Structure 1
Amino acid sequence: MSSRTGVVLAGGKSRRFGRPKAFETHEGSYFYERSEHALLPWTDQVVIQTSLELQPFFPEGKVYTDMEKWRGEGPMAGLYTAMKREESEHFILLPCDVPFLTPEVIGEMIVWKKENGITVPCALKGSGRLHPLISIWEAKDTDKINHLLEQGERSAHRVFLNLGGVSVEAAALKGVTGKHLCNVNTEDEYKKGSLL
């Protein structure tokens, strides 16, 4: 069993961006590769969670689509699928649309979680809002996530709160800035983030 598995969510339809964000580029790398890069130093492996439509465009490797029961049911379905397919103690979740996030941010989150004895999910909070998809989850919560999905819960924010999740203020982490948390939904947001 691995200690930590990184999970990159890269299956969104990117309607507001106009094309799949996973394959937009920043500094010569695809967005999804930027998320992989942030996770790799801190995990034993990284898996990509995507859609059936996008799966053929990723390189061979651990590229998963949601299990059939939860196909197309959002990010928590993606996380649950990865948790069921990989044996690991912790799952570090990142979306594919945070191209400015660095490995140092993940490292700071891991240290904070350990130092504060947090045994439930933790997620970054900054710019006045919670970012539940920049988060660390526990394998022991796999069945609880499934139970919430069975109840019709699809909101990552509400699943996080249901599991007693703890928010990590970005300002409490060394070197973490608002730019790291820039979530790119539109080309304008990407341009603004690049200027920070």
Structure 2
Amino acid sequence: MKDLIGIVLAGGQSKRFGKPKALAKRNGKEFILYSVETLRSITKNIIIVVHPELKKNLPVIDQAIFITDIEPYKGKGPLAGLFSVMSQYEAKWYMVLPCDVPFINDHILKILQLYQDEKWDAILPRVNKRIQPLVALYHRRVKEEIKSRLERNELSMKYLLDNIQVKYIDLIDEQPFMNINTKEEYEKFVR
């Protein structure tokens, strides 16, 4: 079993953005590469959960494993992606990042790692009172809780967090967590 696996969630449909956010660019580089490169600063074990249609358009990402959501949870959001990785690849901890945070940096991940402790099921940043469940560390023991949520179709990350032991790390700088959801946000913050 590995100590840490990095997960990039790139399975969303990007409806509000109008095209796959993973392929949007900042400084000529696809958003997904910012997540992959940031995870590589803490682990060489990178798994990308990707929608099958998106995979063929992604840039080359060496030494990363690509998977899709497992049945019967295909298309059920971040919990399905997280569970799909946990079901196929064993690790003690899983560091999760979305594919649409082009300002993320390794400093954030290293802060979260400082709080790794067996008493926590998850370690999450809380930025100006807003939790960040998709920039987080999850312990392997949450796998069964996630499965239970998926089976009951309770797909909210909040439901999961309400039922596990979470360590929240208060941070101030919002920029690393800025996810780009619309073309207007892209024009305002990235261009």
Q: Same fold (TM over 0.5)?
A: yes
Q: CA separation in 2, counterparts of 1:118 and 1:27?
A: 40
User: 2:83 is aligned with what amino acid?
Assistant: Y
User: 1:120 is aligned with what amino acid?
Assistant: D
User: 1:145 is aligned with what amino acid?
Assistant: I
Extract structure 1 runs of 4+ deviating beyond 4 A.
none
Q: CA separation in 1, counterparts of 2:186 and 2:5?
A: 28
The answer on 1:68 being equivalent to 2:64 is no
Cα displacement (A) at 1:139: 0.8
Structure 1 residues 1-196: aligned runs within 5 Å: 1-58=1-58, 59=60, 61-111=64-114, 113-114=115-116, 118-171=119-172, 177-194=173-190
- Whether the 8 Å CA contact 2:7–2:96 is kept in 1: the answer is yes
Cα displacement (A) at 1:52: 2.2
Cα displacement (A) at 1:183: 1.4
- Whether the 8 Å CA contact 2:7–2:46 is kept in 1: the answer is yes
Cα displacement (A) at 1:118: 4.8
The secondary structure found in structure 2 opposite 1:124 is strand
The secondary structure found in structure 2 opposite 1:153 is coil
- Whether the 8 Å CA contact 1:89–1:139 is kept in 2: the answer is yes
Structure 1 gap segments, 5+ residues each = 172-176
- Whether the 8 Å CA contact 2:76–2:155 is kept in 1: the answer is yes
More displaced stretch, 161-170 vs 55-64: 55-64
The structure richer in helix per residue is 1
TM-score by length of 2: 0.91
Q: CA separation in 2, counterparts of 1:128 and 1:13?
A: 27
Give the superposed CA RMSD. Answer: 1.8
Cα displacement (A) at 1:162: 1.7
Q: CA separation in 2, counterparts of 1:18 and 1:127?
A: 29
TM-score by length of 1: 0.88
